[in-house]
């Protein structure tokens, strides 16, 4: 059974930093593409950062230069380092994993339980 467990959320003042972690189990982690999404109250869930199995990364314009996504395939964990946080970064952050099981089954999406990040002004 595939499971994603997040940790590292919390309350921080504007300009501060937080690091989110997401540990996976029950999957061949190194083969999977990973991402971090966030959802603020009353808004849709949006992609914040993504990293492929090969290590290529992509970021939403709003976090470029401030957030860094990384992965440790030995620990089956993906990270999101968030620096220079702003009040508008306040949201629940979800890690996402895409497991490609081939053409017959397709790609399966898995989600972490969510981590609250609150940035005070």
Please give the pLDDT value at position 94: 98
Do 80 and 36 touch, CB atoms closer than 8 A?
Answer: yes
Please give the pLDDT value at position 92: 98
Please give the pLDDT value at position 2: 93
What token pair was written down for 120? 């005070």
Please give the pLDDT value at position 59: 98
Higher model confidence: residue 82 or residue 27?
82
pLDDT in tens, 30-72: 999 999 999 999 999 999 999 999 999 999 999 999 999 999 9
| 3-class secondary structure, 46 | strand
């Amino acid at each position: 059974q595939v499971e994603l467990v997040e940790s590292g959320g919390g309350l921080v003042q504007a300009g501060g930093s937080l690091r989110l972690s997401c540990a996976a189990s029950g999957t061949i982690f190194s083969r999977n593409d990973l991402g971090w999404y966030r959802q603020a109250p009353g808004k849709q869930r949006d992609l914040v950062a993504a990293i492929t199995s090969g290590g290529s990364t992509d970021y939403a314009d709003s976090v470029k230069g401030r957030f860094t996504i990384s992965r440790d395939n030995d620990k089956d964990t993906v990270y999101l380092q968030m620096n220079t946080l702003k009040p508008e970064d306040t949201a629940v952050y979800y890690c996402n994993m895409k497991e490609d099981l081939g053409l017959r089954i397709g790609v399966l999406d898995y989600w972490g339980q969510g981590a609250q990040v609150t940035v005070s002004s």
